[in-house]
Copies of this chain bind each other. A is one copy, B any other.
Amino acid sequence: MNDTDRTGLWLVGARGSVATTVATGLAMMTSRAHGRDGLVTELPVFVDAGLCPLDAIVTGGHDVSEAPLAKRAAALADAGVIPASALVLVGDELDRADERLRRGYDPEEEGQAEGVQRLADDIREFREREGLARVVVVNVSSTEPVAQDDPAFESLAELESAWAAGRSPLPPSSTYAAAAFLAGAAFVDFTPSTGARVPALRELAEREQVPWGGSDGKTGETLVKSVLAPMFAARALRVRSWSGTNLLGGGDGATLADPDAMASKAVSKARGLEAMLGYPVEGPVHIDNITDLGDWKTAWDNITFSGFLGTRMTMQFTWQGCDSSLAAPLVIDIARLADLALRRGESGPMTQLGFFFKDPVDSEEHQLFTQLDSLGRWACAS
């Protein structure tokens, strides 16, 4: 990596909780006002990977909201997500970051074909204006409903004909993915959306020779699952039921109050357990919007299992985490790692990023430490 290279981190949903925490955190860390807890890419295992330094990352992004970043940051400070001191220490930097944000895609206002071009232009313009070597687009916008199948998903040719015919077949997340690809940027979906996986977009990424990945950041209950399920397996203990309840408020909680968005999230969360254990396990996963909790999530899991001679036992855990605080450093990690893939000229699905996701693209590996091993090996391979 050239020492003066700078990398763009373009956030879709750039005014949301996660994105605002990312922008604040980058500013705090590069101004030395805070340490690097929570950043996986600062672990010793990544020391030889030659990742881009934090102060070489420039943020920008799209959002359909126009609420100022500083205002969102103030709300996050009130809720205890970020330190109150940040408002003073990096307020100016947030205002500058705000100027790099652009209007998101709204299907009511723009046709999809034009939208994709306009979004891609925004990304290209960001790269040029800021003199960036590479750009990584990460989607941290509101969870969208599971997309309805459409014949236009089947190939790039069919998608392009649909666009030519004035149709808008893609869900919003895929619109951003298409724009990223066209602009030569990497694209990673941190939300549960899997829209980038349809054949038409896979083809587009291949044609543009860019890497892409996702989806659904693994920050709480599923993170714990990804070490506990292998623990039961390692001890030959049979998991008989695994029930989970997630209570959360905030923007994400409000979105998930919509049953369609919820469905998308629940599907993503349920994946993995069977893959890790090798057999299906009964038990629902609930996600409830409790406005009083704000950005804080409380998850409770009840696991029944049996062992030697069939004896029944129980384990329960409670997780009280701050979602945006857990997600933000991972978004930065992902940006650094996707930047590395771009620099290496890799393209196609980044299966090495499974460590970060509930629903890792093109991978059935859900065990956290196995995922970390693969990631470390990939990052340090030269």
Contact = CB atoms under 8 A, between A and B. Distances in A.
Contacts of A28: 309
B320 A317 contact: no
B235 A224 contact: no
B37 A290 contact: no
Contacts of A316: 300, 317-318
Contacts of A380: none
B223 A37 contact: no
Contact of A86 (B40, B226, B235, B309): B309
Given A37-B236, A245-B245, A290-B243, A308 B320 contact: no
A136 to B, nearest CB: 19
A261 interface: no
A71 B228 CA distance: 36
- From A84, A227, A293, residue with most partner B Cβ within 10 Å: A227
A80 B80 contact: yes
B80 A311 contact: yes
Nearest to A355: B234
Contacts of A109: none
A39 interface: yes
Contacts of A369: 230, 234, 367, 369-370
A238 interface: yes
User: What is the count of identical protomers in the complex?
Assistant: 4
B236 A38 contact: yes
Given A37-B238, A234-B369, A236-B38, A302 B311 contact: no
Interface stretch (A6-14, A117-125, A325-333, A357-365): A325-333
A308 B24 CA distance: 11
B304 A302 contact: no
A299 B154 CA distance: 46
29 contacts: A21-B308, A21-B309, A25-B308, A35-B310, A37-B237, A38-B236, A38-B307, A81-B311, A83-B310, A84-B84, A223-B231, A223-B235, A227-B227, A227-B228, A241-B292, A243-B245, A290-B304, A298-B302, A307-B322, A307-B326, A309-B325, A311-B322, A313-B320, A313-B322, A313-B326, A315-B317, A315-B320, A317-B317, A318-B318
A100 interface: no
Contacts of A370: 369
A292 B283 CA distance: 10
A238 B86 CA distance: 20
Given A317-B317, A326-B307, A328-B308, A282 B291 contact: yes
A37 B310 contact: yes
A235 to B, nearest CB: 6
A286 B308 CA distance: 27
B236 A227 contact: no
A329 to B, nearest CB: 5
Contacts of A288: 243, 283-284
A82 interface: yes
A236 B320 contact: no
A368 interface: yes
Nearest to A370: B369
Interface in A199-229: 223-224, 226-228
Contacts of A286: 245, 284, 286
A31 interface: no
